[in-house]
Structure 1
């Protein structure tokens, strides 16, 4: 089983949306997809209602997801860790214990534009259109991830 973790700051906007999108594309008998945040702001909370709404618009239900904080144990538990932006990427890398840990961490938009190190914008303080933009970015990236495995 391949285990993939999506990581953003608070685990209520981008990473649960990325989790839901990738889960909708990959068979759950061969893949385990989860999400986490580098900060503990929203541990135990459901995704932002705007993330839930945009996911629902595309037939994805993320209402059962709950925020959790990224830990060093995640390096052992996951094969691949996708950061949503450079700040979270750097935070994860600082927690890495080995070169093997570091090798698991990637910026998700590098799946679309390799080595450009672009960030998925945080839509939290914006309007609903930001969530739509984020969804489209994540959908494109997750489609590329899917093609790598299926």
Structure 2
């Protein structure tokens, strides 16, 4: 079993959906958590537009509550999946040498664009991109 940690800026849009999609795709082969770099939405549900986008793809984000990343989370994870290069850069600055080898971009070679402040199309596109990216972290297994 692999421990995956998806990280975005606020744990409000992208990483909550990545957690849900990776959990479904990976089944019993992964344990997935998510967190944000900032605590602005601590203990709050996911963004309503992301909840709706997830629902349109058959996922339920309503149980999610945002949390800020901790060093304990970084220690727990086998792989830390940053949603974009800016998040990755911040993680590299805070994680310490022991955890640096675990860090990477969720899509490996490109960012998952942040839909915050945009319309439903941006959230839908973000959710589709994240769901498609689950194969990169679960051995390509389809459920």
The bucket for the TM-score relative to the shorter chain is over 0.9
Structure 2 residue runs without a partner (length 5+): none
Shift, 1:147, TM fit: 2.0
Secondary structure of 2:50's partner?
Answer: helix
Contact 2:11 2:35 in 1 (8 A): yes
Mapped pair 1:141 → 2:140: no
Q: Distance in 2 between matches of 1:56 and 1:23?
A: 15
Query: Which residue is equivalent to 2:91?
Result: 92
Is this contact kept in 2: 1:47–1:63, CA < 8 A? yes
Of the candidates 114, 120, 126, which is equivalent to residue 118 of structure 2? 126
On the 8 A contact 1:20/1:55 being kept in 2, the answer is no
Aligned-residue CA RMSD in angstroms? 1.5
Question: In the alignment, is residue 102 of structure 1 matched against residue 100 of structure 2?
Answer: yes
Question: Which residue of structure 2 lines up, in the alignment, with residue 35 of structure 1?
Answer: 34
> How much has 1:26 moved relative to structure 2?
1.3
TM-score normalised according to structure 1 size:
0.89
The TM-score normalised by the length of structure 2 is: 0.93
Flag structure 1 segments of 5+ consecutive residues without an equivalent: 111-115
Q: Which runs of 4+ in 1 moved over 6 A?
A: none
Is contact 2:134-2:140 (8 Å) kept?
A: no
Aligned length: 142
Note if contact 1:83-1:105 (Cα within 8 Å) is conserved in structure 2: yes
| Structure 1 residue 148: Cα displacement | 5.5
